[in-house]
Amino acid sequence: MATVEQQFEWHSGKNRSAGVPDAIEFIDVYKSFGSNKVLQGLNMGLPEGMISMILGPSGTGKSVCIKHIVGLLYPDSGDVVVHGQSVPSLSDAELFEFRRQFGVLFQDGALFGSLNLYDNVAFPLRQHTEKGEEEIAEIVNRRLREVGLGDAGQKMPNELSGGMRKRAGFARALVLDPQIVLFDEPDSGLDPVRTALLCELIKEIHAENGGTYVVITHDIMSARRVAEYIAVLWRGRIVEAGLAQDLFDSENPFVKQFLSGESAGPLGME
Amino acid sequence: MNELLAMPREWLSAAGEIGRFMGTVLSDVFGARVLRFSGETLRQAGILIISSTLIIWALMFVLGLECGIEGAYFLEAQGAPAYSGVFAAWCDLREIIPYAFGYMLAAKVGTGIVAELGAMRISDEIDALEVMGVDSMVFLCATRLLGSWLVLPFVYIAGIGGAFLASYIAVVQQVGVVSSGGFELIFWEFQNPTDFLFSLTKAMVMATVIVLVGCYYGYNASGGPVGVGTATAKSMVLNLVLVHLIGMMGTQIFWGQSPKAPIGG
pLDDT at A265: 66
Q: What is the ipTM for the molecules in this complex?
A: 0.83
Residue B157 lies in a domain: yes
Interface contact A33, partner B, CB < 8 A: no
Which residues in chain A have Cβ-Cβ distances shorter than 8 Å to B119?
113
pLDDT tens by residue, A61-105: 888 999 999 999 999 999 999 999 999 999 988 998 899 889 999
CA–CA distance, A181 with A54 (Å, rounded to integer): 13
Q: Which of A70, A125, A103 is nearest to A212 (CA)?
A: A103
B165-185 tens-digit pLDDT: 999 999 999 999 899 999 999
Chain B positions in Cβ-Cβ contact with residue A128 (cut-off 8 Å): 132-133
Residue A185: pLDDT band by 50, 70, 90 thresholds?
Answer: confident
Residue A213 falls inside a structural domain: yes
Q: Do the chains contact at B131 and A104, CB–CB below 8 Å?
A: yes
Q: For residue range B208-256, what is the model confidence (pLDDT) as tens digits? A: 999 999 999 999 999 999 999 999 999 999 999 999 999 999 999 999 8
CA-based nearest residue in chain B for residue A121: B132
Any domain includes A255: yes
Q: A242 vs A195, B67, B174, CA distance in Å?
A: 24, 77, 85
Residue A36 is predicted with a pLDDT of 87
Taking alpha carbons only, the member of B81, B61, B97, B44 closest to residue B206 is: B97
A99 with B133: Cβ contact below 8 A? yes
Give A104's contacts in chain B (Cβ within 8 Å): 127-128, 131
Residue A124: closest CA among A134, A114, A112? A112
Q: How many domains does chain B have?
A: 1
Gap between the Cα atoms of B63 and B58, Å rounded: 9
Please report whether residue A187 resides in a domain. yes
Query: By the 8 A CB rule, do A82 and A181 touch?
Result: no
Domain CATH number, residue A35: 3.40.50.300
Instruction: Report the residue of A68, A73, A74, A114 to disrupt the B interface, i.e. the one with the largest count of B CBs within 10 Å.
Output: A114
* pLDDT tens for each residue of B122-162: 999 999 999 988 999 999 999 999 999 999 999 999 999 99
Which residue from B119, B128, B135 is facing A106, i.e. has the nearest CB? B128
Please give, rounded to a whole number of angstroms, the shortest distance from the CA of A71 to a CA of chain B. 8
> Å from A67 to nearest chain B CA?
9
Q: Is residue B112 part of a domain?
A: yes
Q: Closest CB to A127: pick one of B123, B127, B132.
A: B132
pLDDT of A264 reads 63
- Asked if residue B33 is part of any domain, the answer here is no
Is A127–B125 a contact, with Cβ atoms under 8 angstroms apart? no
Total count of domains within chain A: 1
Residues 116-135 of B with CB under 8 A from A: 119-120, 123-125, 127-128, 130-135
Q: Is residue B260 part of a domain?
A: no
What pLDDT is recorded for position B113? 97
CA torsion through residues A64, A70, A72, A77, sign: positive
Looking at residue B105, the DSSP 8-state letter turns out to be I
Q: At what angle do helices A162-174 and A192-209 cross, to 10 degrees?
A: 10
Minimal C-alpha gap between B46 and chain A (Å): 14
Task: Tell whether B27 lies on the interface with A, counting CB pairs under 8 A.
Answer: no
Range of the domain at B65: 43-255
User: Is residue B1 assigned to a domain?
Assistant: no
Please report the sign of the dihedral spanned by the C-alpha atoms of residue A127, residue A130, residue A132, residue A138. negative
Domain for residue B148, yes or no? yes
Residue A47, φ and ψ in degrees, nearest 5:
-70, 150
Contact B124 A124 (CB under 8 A): no
Contact A102 B131 (CB under 8 A): yes
A19 and A79 in contact (C-beta within 8 Å)?
no
% of residues, chain B, pLDDT over 90: 86
Q: What is the pLDDT of residues A147-180, one digit of tens each?
A: 888 888 999 999 998 888 888 998 999 898 899 9
Find the domain containing A255 and state its range.
20-260
Does the residue B14 lie in any domain? no
Residue B129 C-alpha, separation from nearest chain A C-alpha, in angstroms:
9
Say if residue A254's pLDDT is above 90.
Answer: no
* Mean pLDDT, all residues of chain A: 86
